[in-house]
Amino acid sequence: MDAAGGSEGMRIEQILEKFDLFAQAPGAVERMREVVLELAVRGKLVLQDIADEPASELLKRILAEKSRQAGRDERMTSDPGQTPNNEQFEVPVNWVWIGATTPAVKVSDQGKKVQTKDILNSGKFPVVDQGKMFIRGFCDDSEKVISAVEPIVLFGDHTRETKFIDFDFVVGADGVKLLKPIFINPRFYFLMLRWLPLESRGYARHFKLLKAARIPLPPLAEQKRIVAKVDELMAICDRLEAQLRERDTRHGALARAALARFAAAPTPDNLQYLFHPAYDIASGDIRKSIFRLAVHGKLVPQSPNDENARVMIDRAMKLRRETIKSKSLRRKELDESGNLHKNDDFPSLWCIERLANLVDPENTISYGVLVPGNDVPDGIPFVRAQDLCLSQHPARPNKTIAPDIERPYARTRLTGGEILLCVVGSIGKIGVVPDSWAGANIARAVARIKPIPDVLRDYLLIVLLEQSVQEHFASTTRTLAQPTLNVGMIEQTLIPIPPLAEQRRIVAQVDHLMSLVDRYESQLTTARATAARLLDALVAEITGSRRPGSLASSSAAQSPRQTKALANEERPQPPSERSAAPAGGTPAIPGRIDGAGLLALLRDRGSLSSSEAQAATGLDPATLRGLFKTLIDQRLARTVGQRRGMRYLPTAVAAQVE
């Protein structure tokens, strides 16, 4: 055998044995499947044998058989899809490039198709269509059965799905092309079509692209060796995938136990216990747990020296009534709600009050301008739902409206420090007003909440961000043209109130714990980016190619020594309270990342937090904020979540979330 090929096959096995090194990389198992196919089509998976009949001789027989089946008088002597210098990459000397449909003939399905509405949940004959499910359903009509005496490869004209069929079946609906391989190993042909990188045209037809595409053809004997090796390696990938699922299940149980331990004693030490690699707890779940404990009086110790919150709120309610009377304000007062809760639900010094009674009586919960009109130069800054955030605010909102339009809405003019709540569309999205936005006004989709002095704004933010309150907002939302939350429902929200001194302790502890979670999330992002770069480097080393469209593809040029260095980078460690610097050594990605590059990354990942974007691009936070702001202004991206849980999404993904 020729030793020129196949050594990479040995290396891919060694890489699979060391899968734990890059298991954290997104889609690691699927990426390994892609690598196996890439090696197979490049002739780098198994050894070549000089005794094998060259593929050029096999091609002659294929063309002769196609001519015979076509009933032509003259035999075909060359591949009609073959053109000089049209090879995608170099293949072994005894291989040839051919048209993707050259080694197959179409199987007629005329009169055999079953309509989707006629597909059964059970029956005699399986129905196979172009969808992702291998078996779409069943059919009992024997006259529609296509007999697969020899294997058939199904190609989805609309979906590009490829399926290998070696049993009698019924073809489903429209958009299916059935191809019967001739003089070529059917499984190998299926693998070639599965590998083929055809451009997506949505739900348009793709068979024309398949006919114009080209695939490499090895000798028949080597095809059989490749298929056997691919099956062997894919079985390993299957086992790795099963192990990952089992690990996720096990980690889920451990995570629940760790969260319960933290809930019983929410100390920084127990928080770091959650960061153990064995638990793999999502940072979002940790944040939810912190908020939940905070608003139930379980995050910080109570002090008997604190003033009872009921006494404090009664005093505030008396002052509220005096203000309303002295200024002749028309304000409704909602009944206090402590009797709705058992005494042991909250600490003894806490009380429950409805949100309407906890806001400034001169600045009640209100939404803003109904019809803002077009932007005007030097107009009044205008805050929309997309502007809501808890940090990293721009100097001013990017929209301004005419003073004449804003003037009737002076009651919702901002002074700085208020809480803003989205009440149309992205229900429950929270923001705060920086001092630089004083004088701005708000949209109809935004409600202003200005708490009384006895309720700290940052404590009320924690309550509004807590899951049960967010669920209350969602459950009371009406769906009109868009989801809409009525101000009356916001006013009815039950707010647990601790003593003022305890509010301060809660806010300080939440900020401290959230900073630890942020550092853990940053380390985890770094570790995943390192694993992805390691995987890219290993793939590049064994295939000699880069992953198309990957920002991390620069690692393809790394030397084996650099690859080994990547493998030795540390796994994320629990964040130390004494060290604020994230662990790990992720270098910045070479080259300038502009708005288009950031949008491509965002669409590839689906969503990004600020820390993830910084780790993936190497850009400083200020530059990233500017790029994200540009994408949001152009309606190419938006934000979801609040405060440290805020994430950026491309608009297509955002539409799905809505």
> What CA dihedral angle connects 635, 637, 641 and 644, to 10 degrees?
-120
- The CATH number of 53-218 is which of 1.20.1260.10, 3.90.220.20, 3.60.21.10, 3.40.50.800? 3.90.220.20
Between CA 299 and CA 476 the distance in angstroms is 28
Class of residue 220 by CB neighbours under 10 A (exposed 0-12, middle 13-18, buried 19+)? middle
Which pair of structure tokens corresponds to residue 52?
């094998």
Cβ–Cβ under 8 Å, residues 123 and 172: no
Class of residue 487 by CB neighbours under 10 A (exposed 0-12, middle 13-18, buried 19+)? middle
Amino acid at 393: H
E strand or H helix that includes residue 468: helix 467-475
User: What is the per-residue pLDDT for 490?
Assistant: 92
Cβ–Cβ under 8 Å, residues 404 and 372: no
Residue-range domain boundaries for the chain: 53-218, 329-498, 527-657
Between CA 122 and CA 546 the distance in angstroms is 45
State the CB neighbour count (10 A cutoff) for residue 277. 13
User: What is the per-residue pLDDT for 565?
Assistant: 46
Q: Nearest Cα to 475, choosing from 493, 462, 458?
A: 493
User: What is the per-residue pLDDT for 63?
Assistant: 93
Mind spelling out the 3-state secondary structure of 295-356?
CCCCCCCCCCCCCCHHHHHHHHHHHHHHHHHHCCCCCCCCCCCHHHCCHHHCCCCCEEEEHH
E strand or H helix that includes residue 557: none
Place of tokens 């605010």: 393
Query: Which tens digits make up the pLDDT trace of 343-356?
Result: 457 899 999 999 99
**CATH class of the structural domain 527-657:** mainly alpha
User: What is the per-residue pLDDT for 349?
Assistant: 93
Bridge partners (DSSP) of residue 451 are 359
User: What is the per-residue pLDDT for 253?
Assistant: 64
Q: Nearest Cα to 549, choosing from 558, 536, 530, 563?
A: 536
Task: State how beta strands 176-181 and 478-479 pair.
Answer: unpaired
Cβ–Cβ under 8 Å, residues 108 and 98: no
Between CA 219 and CA 62 the distance in angstroms is 12
User: What is the per-residue pLDDT for 313?
Assistant: 92
Q: Where are the beta strands (DSSP E) in 84-224?
A: 96-99, 104-106, 125-128, 137-139, 152-156, 162-165, 170-171, 176-181, 214-217
Do 53-218 and 329-498 show the same overall fold? yes
User: What is the per-residue pLDDT for 654?
Assistant: 38
State the CB neighbour count (10 A cutoff) for residue 285. 13
Helix (H, G, I), strand (E, B) or coil at 204: coil
User: What is the per-residue pLDDT for 656?
Assistant: 35
User: What is the per-residue pLDDT for 4?
Assistant: 47
Helix (H, G, I), strand (E, B) or coil at 128: strand
Helix (H, G, I), strand (E, B) or coil at 229: helix
- In terms of CATH architecture, what is 329-498? Alpha-Beta Complex (3.90)
Between CA 572 and CA 335 the distance in angstroms is 50
Cβ–Cβ under 8 Å, residues 300 and 501: no
3-state helix, strand, coil in the chain (%, to 5): 45, 15, 40
- Helices 28-41, 7-17: axis angle to 10 degrees equals 170
Q: Nearest Cα to 333, choosing from 364, 303, 304?
A: 364
Checking 478-482 for CB contacts under 8 A at 24+ apart, the result is: 482/424, 482/425
User: What is the per-residue pLDDT for 504?
Assistant: 95
Between CA 213 and CA 543 the distance in angstroms is 21
- What is the C-alpha R_g of the chain? 32
CA atoms within 13 A on the CB side of 53: 9
User: What is the per-residue pLDDT for 84?
Assistant: 44
Helix (H, G, I), strand (E, B) or coil at 429: coil
Cβ–Cβ under 8 Å, residues 405 and 344: no
Cβ–Cβ under 8 Å, residues 24 and 69: no
Place of tokens 């077009």: 374
Q: What is 44-63 written as a DSSP string?
A: -SS-B-TTSPPHHHHHHHHH
pTM of the model: 0.56
Between CA 187 and CA 354 the distance in angstroms is 67
Give the residues of the chain that fall short of pLDDT 50: 3-4, 7, 9-10, 72-77, 81-85, 336-343, 546-572, 576-593, 652-658
Cβ–Cβ under 8 Å, residues 361 and 324: yes
Q: What is 347-412 written as a DSSP string?
A: -TT-EEEEGGGGB-TTS-SEE-BS---S--TT-EEEE-GGG--SSS--SS-SEEE-HHHHGGGGGG
538-565 burial string, b = 16+ CB within 10 Å, else e? bbbbbbeebbeebbbbbbbebeeeebee
Task: State how beta strands 494-497 and 351-354 pair.
Answer: antiparallel
Widest Cα–Cα separation across the chain: 106
What distance, in Å, lies between the first and last C-alpha atoms of the chain? 59
User: What is the per-residue pLDDT for 275?
Assistant: 66
Task: State how beta strands 478-479 and 483-484 pair.
Answer: antiparallel
